[in-house]
Amino acid sequence: MIDALIAIFEALPYLLKGALATSGIVIGAMGLGLVMGVHMAVGQVYGNRPTRWFVGLYVWFFRGVPVLVLLFLFYFGLFALIGLNLSAFAASILVLGMTTAAYQSQIFRGAILSLPKGQLQAARALGMSDIKAIISIILPQALRFSIPAWSNEYSIILKDSALAFVLGTSEIMARSHFVASRTYHHLPLYITAGCIYFLLTWLGVRALLKLEAKVRIPGYSQ
Amino acid sequence: MTKPKKPILRVENICKILGGKEILKSVSLSLYKGELKVLIGPSGAGKSTLLQCINFLIPPDKGRVWLEETEIQSHKKRELYTFRQQVGMIFQDFNLFDHLNALENVAIALRKVKKMSRQAARDCAVAELERVGLGDKTTLYPAELSGGQKQRVSIARALAMEPKIMLLDEPTSALDPELIGEVLSVIRNLAQGGMTMILATHQIGFTRSLADEVLFMENGSIIEQGTPEDLLSPDACTRSRDFCSRLNELYEEGV
């Protein structure tokens, strides 16, 4: 028992460094997913036929293939094929980012479609171009309504980030596995790893709840 | 009534088919400066579609539109946006931007379309809101306003763009009876101030007292047009008269 506590205590700084890597992956992937997802959603709702078709194909592919397969496919296959020499860390961000982009685009698409049609009409009637209307009228509302679903996506990506371990990224899971194999304290170390994930999930979801309250439209209930 | 020779807005042969149904059958009209034309007619007659075709929110299948001698080339985006800036539109269900307060609702197009500075847009928005009697409500969001107040904000939003004409699509139809008055009084002030407008409405009393011309629409065509006296006086034997007396029976609206 004491051994286990000592093992955890000794490994903790090492694991927390892993938590930093995990945070980096999640923030990078969610950020990339946000930027790509918003563009894809706008393209899918307002774009011409080829754009809608392309986004549809992208979403279908990334939602249809397991993340683990995608990680191997891109890191060992496609990135090498196009001569892109990425670190495991960067590759994890890219692959998880592209995956969450597919899911996020559908969150934003749903939010955009849930807005009353009159919002875009009124903006057009004032002489706004569609781009201006989307940027100043549609997205500020759609993004607000996307926060609850986005927070869900955050918790999913946080846990999927453990898969980056297989590419050799030195994140929480990789580090716990490494220490556990060395010290044979498997149970306490994986419990610790689980607790760190739990803490990160809790912090992120809480921060997003705060954000949701902060940007809430006064008097508005959807 | 003395009219200048040239109409400020001319609409010719607008046709629109939606879902296989002919909504507008070659509708034409001319609007002169300072004139208030009122569109009346049963629901489904094509009043809303006509107004939305005029500023191309619904692209007409056929037909041409001129604003002050210039024909609008609706496929040229820039021209279309410039045209729409000059045509204020008021919707039945207000369509205020839900995430912006009253002031920002009025100011946003000034900033994004007219490229005014933040401060100038703000000052202008405050002035427009005061004009519709909402100077004390500038920081409230649409969800915190009554229907009548929302419609007045939307009028202020349209006026801030300094439109040459205004299209009002049943501006009081979504309002409780006791809120209609405040919106009509704003529109009355506009009419008396010389604003050029096309108003689709079921407010017959209002039409009688303020319209320069009444257009009666049914089944996608303007079937009668003339002064309120010609069409709506008790002894006129017109389709409009019939329609209005039936409306009056419904609403028991005194004139």
Does domain B35-61+166-176+190-255 correspond to CATH entry 3.30.1360.120? no
Residue A209 Cα, gap to closest chain B Cα (Å): 18
The answer to whether the CB atoms of B143 and A218 lie below 8 A apart is yes
Residue A56 Cα, gap to closest chain B Cα (Å): 27
Tell me the pLDDT of chain B averaged across its residues.
90
Rounded alpha-carbon distances, angstroms, from residue A60 to A54, A57, A102, A149, A205? 10, 5, 8, 19, 27
Query: In chain B, which segments carry CATH 3.40.50.300?
Result: 35-61+166-176+190-255
CB atoms under 10 Å from CB of B28, counted, come to 12
Residue appearing with tokens 């703000």? B122
CB atoms under 10 Å from CB of B213, counted, come to 20
pLDDT at A221: 67
Of all residues in chain B, the one with the smallest CA distance to A119 is: B95
What DSSP assignment string belongs to A31-62? HHHHHHHHHHHHHHHHS-HHHHHHHHHHHHHH
The pTM (predicted TM-score) of the whole model is 0.90
The verdict on A221 touching B (C-beta cutoff 8 Å) is yes
* Four-point Cα dihedral B219, B221, B226, B229, nearest 10: 10
Helix (H) or strand (E) holding B193: none
The answer to whether the CB atoms of A116 and B95 lie below 8 A apart is yes
The answer to whether the CB atoms of B91 and A122 lie below 8 A apart is yes
Which of A119, A140, A220 faces B95 most closely, judged by CB atoms? Answer: A119
Residues B53/B14, Cβ–Cβ less than 8 Å: yes
Helices assigned H by DSSP within chain A:
2-46, 49-64, 67-72, 79-81, 88-114, 118-125, 130-133, 139-160, 172-183, 186-214
* Tens-digit pLDDT profile for residues A196-205: 999 999 999 9
Radius of gyration, CA atoms only, chain B: 18
The answer to whether the CB atoms of B81 and A128 lie below 8 A apart is yes
pLDDT at B255: 43
CA distance B35 to A24: 64
Helix (H) or strand (E) holding B224: strand B221-226
The answer to whether the CB atoms of B97 and A119 lie below 8 A apart is yes
Residues B110/B125, Cβ–Cβ less than 8 Å: yes
CB contact set of B161 (below 8 Å; sequence gap of 6+): A126, A127, B85, B86, B88, B109, B110, B113, B114
The verdict on B129 touching A (C-beta cutoff 8 Å) is no
- Top residue of B49, B98, B100 to mutate, by most chain A CBs within 10 Å, is B98
For chain A, the domains span 21-172
Count of CB pairs separated by less than 8 Å, A with B: 82
- For the segment(s) A21-172, the CATH number from 3.40.1440.10, 1.10.3720.10, 1.10.760.10, 3.40.50.300 is 1.10.3720.10
Tell me the pLDDT of chain A averaged across its residues.
93
* Tens-digit pLDDT profile for residues A58-74: 999 999 999 999 999 99
Lowest mean pLDDT among A12-21, A99-108, B84-93: A12-21
CA distance A105 to A97: 12
**Between B6 and A161, where is the model more confident?**
A161
Q: Can you say how many angstroms the Cα of residue B169 is from the centroid of all Cα atoms in its chain?
A: 5
Residue B101 Cα, gap to closest chain A Cα (Å): 9
